Amino acid sequence: MFPNFESIPSPNKKFKTTPMDRSFDHLTEEIIFAILDHLHDDPFSRKSFSLVSKSFYAAESLHRKSLRPLHSDRIPTVSPRYPSISKLDLTLCPHVEDSFLISVSSAWKTTLRSIDLSRSRSFSNVGLSNLVTSCTGLVEINLSNGVALTDAVMKVLAEAKNLEKLWLSRCKSITDMGIGCVAVGCKKLKLLCLNWCLHITDLGVGLIATKCKELRSLDLSFLTITEKCLPPILQLQHLEELILEECHGIDDEGLEALKRNCKRNSLKLLNLSRCPSISHSGLSSLINGSEDLQKLNLSYGSSITTDMAKCLHSFSGLQSIKLDCCSLTTSGVKAIANWRASLKELSLSKCVGVTDECLSILVQKHKQLRKLDITCCRKITYGSINSITSSCSFLVSLKMESCTLVPREAYVLIGQRCPYLEELDLTDNEIDNEGLKSISKCSRLSVLKLGICLNINDDGLSHIASGCRKIKELDLYRSTGITDRGIAAIAGGCPALEMINIAYNDKITDSSLISLSKCLSLKALEIRGCCCISSVGLSAIAVGCKQLTVLDIKNCVNVNDDGMIPLAQFSHNLKQINLSYCSVTDVGLLSLASINCLRNMTILHLAGLTPDGLTAALLVGSGLRKVKLHLSFKSLLPPSFRKYMETRGCVLYWRDKAFQLGQKG
């Protein structure tokens, strides 16, 4: 979607004209733009398209609406090429100076509608003021993580009169005064995120609710608010989403008064997770009048008793409820089964009290379930799977990690009765090859997690490869029966594969990586602890999988500099790598650090790494934002150098971790 500025040809570059070029000149701009619309999510195709001819180059430049630059200092150079930018994502630019924001204001004064500064620092009121006053069409600003942003910045932000969406997550220095300025100036706000703004109280939230009548979504998670700010919020006619996660100041006693004053509202989503002080009486008061409620999150809260369930009985539009880590009672489950609503999504992850009887009662009533999460419901057995698959044949997502009492034969039922599954998590379970053979009938499956499944081997994986050709994500972590033969089957049968985890499988060799190198869409590869893998296999991945962005080769002791050099040469999109305990030296790390997109590195216990080599690699890695290092290097790097890295936007994390070759995890 976003261009890599390192590889963008100059607008003055000379193209050789061929008869094919001239034939393209007959295509209208509308046709060319229609082609580009289809290439929207494929940056490689867009780049290739722009290099076809002068007319295509110009058309791609004019058509592009979004940019995500690697470095902020490149904007003045490339902005003339892209005159129509409406969305600017600066999450890869840690330092954004006022001069940069001023140049942005000048370049896209009439087109810019959205800017993301959630990972950026260094700008002040001056730059932001220029931005919001010049770009009058600006409707979205993300200033999250701005821990140093003050009320003075909010006063400037209030000049963005057309602002509709504002994210201020973790802006911990903002007070009621600052948010009051936003409330007065930005009356068109439809979405506001204030989670972790710890100095905003009932006063500031009340001002927002009073002034911003168009609000659709409001996130107040982790704020020190009470029920006093809720009446004006619940009177907002258009409010559809209210998130009150871990708002401990709100309790039953305070909510009681709401019941008498609440009128009908338009609330569709309510998140009360981690609010243990709210029981059935408080919930009943809060949702009084919310007849359109569709999604409710009560995770990590009170027990789901009969009274708690009964207060939701009449909400016929309720489609999704999350009860993760709640304690379920049989009477509460029976009350849920009597709801007027027919649920589409139900999450019972890590719930205490989930039994075969409970699940049978629930699924017999809610037969239209599309998504069910029963992760770590350790009491369920064959009976639960029989009930689920018999009643809910339209499931598209089933998560049941660590349901260890479910026997092998139960998994055959999933493939026989749930043909529409797209996501299936069977991590740490007793499934065997017969179960996989049955599941291979789920031809729509795109996410399959089989980590720590010790009863499966290559034969079962071959069934998946032949039947589930749409697989994009496959997790085989510590499934030790898998060998190169199984991985070869997956690589040949699942051409859309984007992520695979084969960590800590000691039978995996370079042959598996050579097979996977044919998966051209592969973006994430986790092979930590695969002791038989070497630089030969890694080189094949580098050459074949050019979309690779995440690589974990921790504890691959046979990987050395010979594997790093191909990564530097071919893996230009690599963003994150863990090479702890590998046999990489200064030379390999220096090559790796030259990758422009590389953002995160974990490099603990590299035996061949010296202080000078580390310093050189950190200097070369101009895009690095987070590097995890062993504490022993801290005293060997001058304080001035560490300060320089911090100024450049790279945070060094020091770990005092003893050398532990072949460690688990």
Q: Length of the chain, please?
A: 665
Query: For residues 266 and 239, is the Cβ–Cβ distance under 8 A?
Result: yes
Hey, which residues does 455 pair with through a beta bridge? 432
Query: For residues 526 and 503, is the Cβ–Cβ distance under 8 A?
Result: yes
Is the pLDDT reported for residue 20 higher than 60? no
Q: First vs last Cα of the chain: how many Å apart?
A: 34
pTM of the model: 0.91
647: amino acid identity, one letter: T
* pLDDT tens figures, 135-171: 999 999 999 999 999 999 999 999 999 999 999 999 9
Query: For residues 307 and 333, is the Cβ–Cβ distance under 8 A?
Result: no
Count of other CB atoms within 10 angstroms of residue 421: 24
* pLDDT tens figures, 21-69: 455 666 777 777 777 777 766 666 767 777 777 777 777 788 889 998 8
Q: Which residues contact 107 (CB under 8 A, 6 or more apart)?
A: 75, 76, 79, 80, 85
Spatial separation of the C-alpha atoms in residues 627 and 177, rounded to whole Å: 37
Q: Which of 306, 377, 394 is nearest to 342 (CA)?
A: 394
Would you state the pLDDT for residue 661? Answer: 62
Spatial separation of the C-alpha atoms in residues 257 and 282, rounded to whole Å: 10
**For residue 441, what are its two tokens?**
């009938």
Is the pLDDT reported for residue 642 higher than 50? yes
Is the pLDDT reported for residue 586 higher than 60? yes
Spatial separation of the C-alpha atoms in residues 384 and 363, rounded to whole Å: 9
Spatial separation of the C-alpha atoms in residues 450 and 468, rounded to whole Å: 14
Virtual CA dihedral for 369, 370, 375, 377, nearest 10 degrees?
20
SS (H, E, C) 119-160: CCECCCHHHHHHHHHHCCCCCEEECCCCCCCCHHHHHHHCCC
Query: Residue 397: which pLDDT band, with cuts at 50, 70 and 90?
Result: very high
* Cα torsion angle, 541, 542, 543, 546, sign: positive
Query: Residue 9: which pLDDT band, with cuts at 50, 70 and 90?
Result: very low
Percentage of the chain with pLDDT > 70?
A: 94
Spatial separation of the C-alpha atoms in residues 538 and 541, rounded to whole Å: 5
Spatial separation of the C-alpha atoms in residues 287 and 293, rounded to whole Å: 8
* pLDDT tens figures, 296-319: 999 999 999 999 999 999 999 999
Please give the mean pLDDT across all residues of the chain.
Answer: 92
Place of tokens 């065997």: 432
